[in-house]
Structure 1
Amino acid sequence: MLLIFLYSSIFIPPFAGILTDIQKHFGIGDAKGGLLQTAFVLSYMVFAPLFGYLGDRYNRRFIMAAGVFLWSLTTLLGSFVNNYQGFLTCRALVGIGEASYSTIAPTIISDIFIQDMRSKMLALFYFAIPVGSGLGYIIGSETGRAAGNWQWGLRVTPIMGLIAVLLIIIVMQEPKRGECEGHSQLAPTSWWSDIKALARNRSFIFSSCGFTCVAFVAGALAWWGPVFIHYGLVLQPGHENDKLEE
C-alpha cells in the first residue's frame, strides 16, 4: 500500500509543467498542444476497461508492473523525440501505461483492507494523485530549468518508475481476491455478464457519469491552468519585460 501511495503521490509525468517549452520546441500552437492531452485521455479511456478485465483474471502485480514500465519508458523516449508526431505517439502510450496502474491499484488496495479501513486507504490513494500532479509541475519545470533543457523534466519519472517496477515485482505480494472478506473461491465471470451487472447498478452508472465530468474539467484545468496563470502574471503592470522575453 505504501508503494502504491508513493508512486501515485510523487512520480506523475510533468508534461503540463513544461507545456510552453514543448510548444516552442516543436513549433506548435494551442490546438496541437491540447491534442497531446487528448491523445493521452483517449488511450487511457480505451485501455482502462481492458486492464480491468485482465486484472480480474490474471496476476495484477505483473500487469501493473508492465504498465508502469511502459509509462516510464515512453516518457523517457518522448524526451528524445524530435518530431511532433513521434512525441504525440509517446504521449498516447503513456496513457496506456497509466491506465493499467490506475485501474488495477485500487483493486489491490480493496483486497488488502476491509470496511472503514478500505475507504480510508482508497481516499489516501486518490488524494495522492493530485498531490503527484502538483509535484509534477514543480519537479518538471524546475528540473528542466536547472538543466537548461526541458527534456530533462521528463527524465525524472523514468528513473523512479524503474525503481517502482522492481519493488512491485520483488516486494509486493498479490492478495487473493475476496479473501479478506471470507470469499476465497471467487471465480471470474464473462465480460458480457459483467457489463449487464454494472448496467443494473444505478450508483455505479451515476458515479461514473459524475466522475467523467469531474475528470473532463479537472483535466482541462490541470493541462491549461499553468499557462493561464503565467499569462495572467506577465500581463500585470511591471512585468512588461517578462512578457517580451516570453
Structure 2
Amino acid sequence: MGRRYRWLVLAIFMSFVIFHYADKLMISFLTPAIMNEFEITYTEMGMVLTGSLIVASILYPIWGYLYDKYSRTKLISLASFIWGLTTWISALAKNFFNFLVSRSATGIDDSCYPGIYSVVSDYFKPAERGRAMGLLYASNVTGTILGSIISLYVGSLYGWRNAYFLTGSIGVIIALTIYVLVKDPQRGISEPELESFDKITQYRISKENIINVLKKRTLLLLYIQCFSAMFAWQVIIFWMFSYLVNVRGYPNDEATFLMIVLMILMTIGYISGGTLGDFLFKRYRRGRLLLSTIIVFASAILITLTIYAPSNDVFQIMAVITASVIPMASANVIATINDITEPEARSLAISIHEFFGNVGSSMSPLAAGIIADMYGLGIAIASISSLAWVICGIFLFIASIFVVKDMDKLRSLMRERAMIEKRKVEVEK
C-alpha cells in the first residue's frame, strides 16, 4: 500500500474514534436533560452507563476472535453502522426502558477497537506503530472535547435527541466510508521479513494462536497492568470535574475550561509518547516498555503532588505537567502487543487487554466514591490512582524482562513464513 493511502486509512479511523468517543461521552453532559424527561433517579441513570459497559466487556473477546477470522474492515464498518443505528433508536426512545435497552446496545460497537489497532499494525511497520497508535489514542481525547461541544450547543439548543441524531448519522456515514475506501491489508504484510512480497499466505486465527494469547507471559503481564492502569484512569476521568468544583472551588465554567486545556495536553502526550516509544524501540527493543514503566511511576508521583498542591495556582501548574505525562505509556503498550503477537491473533490479544481495562474501569468509580465518603474526594483520587499506577509500573517492568524473548519468537516465525513465501515465488517462476 502507498504511503499516502495508509495515512488516509489512519485518518478515517481517527475520524471514527473521534466521533464515536464523542457519542459515547455525550451522555455525561446530557444526563440532566435525559433524567428530567424520563423522570428517573440517579440509580436508573447509572444503569444506562453500566449497561453499555457490561455489553462491551462481554463482547470484547468475541469481536477480537471475529476480527482475526474474517475481514476486519467489513466488521469495523458493521460496528460503525451498529453505532449509528443504536444511537438513532435511543434518540427515538419513548420511555426509559427503551432508552436503557438502546443505549446498552451501544456497547456492541464499543468493543470494536481491537480490529482498528490490528488493521493499523498491518499498515505501519513495527518501528512506526507507536506514533500511529498515539494518534488513535489522541483521537479519544479529541472526541471527548467534541462530545462536550456537541452536547453544550446542539443538545442545549435543539435537545438531547437531536444531538444523538447527529452523531448517529455520522456513524452511518463513517460506516459507508470504511466499507468503500478502506482495504483490509494482508495480515503480517508490514513485518520486516514479509514486506518485500506483493502477496503472502493469509493466516487465520487457530486454536494454537488462542492458547498463545492466553499463556504468553508478556501478554499476561500486560493484561494485568491494563486492569490496574484503567482503575487509575477511570477515577480521574469520572471524579476530576467534581473535584475541581467541590474541593478546589472552581466555578463550573472555569472548571470546564481547565478540563478542556488538560485534555488538549493529554492529546499531545499520547502522540509524543508514541513517537518517543518508536525512537527508543529502534535503538533498544525494551525501550517501549521501559519508557512506559517510567511514565506510570512518574504518574503516581505527579498525581499525588497535583492533588495535594497547597494552592490553586500550584495545582494548575502541576495539573498541566501531569496531563502531559500520564498518557505517554498507552500507545506503547498496544504497540508492544503487536510486537509479540502473531498477525492473525492481534485483535484477540488486544481485545483481552481491553477487557481487563474495562473491568478495572467499571470498579474504580465506586471504590473512589466509598473512600471519598470516608476521607474526602482528594484523598480518594490521589490514593487510588497512585497505588494503581505503582502496581501497573511493577507489572510493566516485569514484562520488559520477558518481552525480548517473545519478540524473538515472533521474528523467528516471520522468518519461517518468509522462507515459505520465497519458495512459493520460486516455484511459480
**Same fold? TM cut 0.5:** yes
Distance 1:64 1:208, change over 3 A: same
In the TM superposition, residue 82 of structure 1 has moved relative to its aligned partner by 2.0
**Size of the alignment, in residue pairs?**
232
Q: RMSD between aligned alpha carbons?
A: 2.4
Matched, 1:142 2:140: no
Structure with the largest fraction of helix: 2
What amino acid maps onto 2:128 in structure 1? M
1:162 aligns with 2:177: no
One-letter code aligned to 1:26:
F
Deviation at 1:109, TM superposition (A): 0.2
Equivalent residue, structure 1, for 2:16: 7
Contact 2:125–2:190 (CA<8 Å) still a contact in 1? yes
Work out the CA distance in 1 between the residues paired with 2:96 and 2:223. 33
For the structure 1 residues 229 and 163, does the alpha-carbon distance in structure 2 shift closer, same or farther, using more than 3 Å as the test? farther
Structure-2 separation of matches of 1:135 and 1:109: 24
Cα separation, partners in 2 of 1:50 and 1:215, compared to 1, 3 Å = same
* TM-score of the aligned structures, taking structure 2 as reference length: 0.50
Structure 1 residue 186 displacement after superposition = 4.6
* TM-score calculated relative to the size of structure 1: 0.84
- Which amino acid letter does the alignment assign opposite residue 156 of structure 2? R
Task: Return the index of the structure with the highest Cα Rg.
Answer: 2
Equivalent in the alignment of 2:115: 104
* Contact in 2 for aligned 1:16/1:224 (Cα 8 Å): no
Q: 1:236 to 1:65 in 2, by over 3 A?
A: closer
Could you tell me which residue of structure 2 aligns to residue 76 of structure 1? 88
1:116 aligns with 2:127: yes
What's the counterpart of residue 98 of structure 2? 86
Matches within 5 A, 1:36-47: 36-47=48-59
- Structure with the bigger RCO (C-alpha within 8 Å, sep 6+) is 1
Aligned equivalents of 1:222, 1:139: Cα separation in 2? 19
Q: Distance in 1 between matches of 2:169 and 2:243?
A: 30
Q: What amino acid does structure 1 have at the position aligned with 2:217?
A: R
Task: State the distance in 2 between where 1:75 and 1:217 align.
Answer: 29
Q: Which runs of 5 or more residues in structure 1 are unaligned?
A: 238-246
Alignment partner, residue 199 of structure 1: 214
**Structure 1 counterpart of 2:331:** none
Q: What percentage of residue pairs aligned between the two structures are identical?
A: 22
1:24 aligns with 2:36: yes
- The answer for the alignment partner of 2:181 in structure 1 is 171
Q: Which amino acid aligns with 1:155?
A: F
Matched residues in 2 for 1:202 and 1:64: separation?
A: 29
Query: Does the 8 Å contact 1:16/1:222 carry over to 2?
Result: no
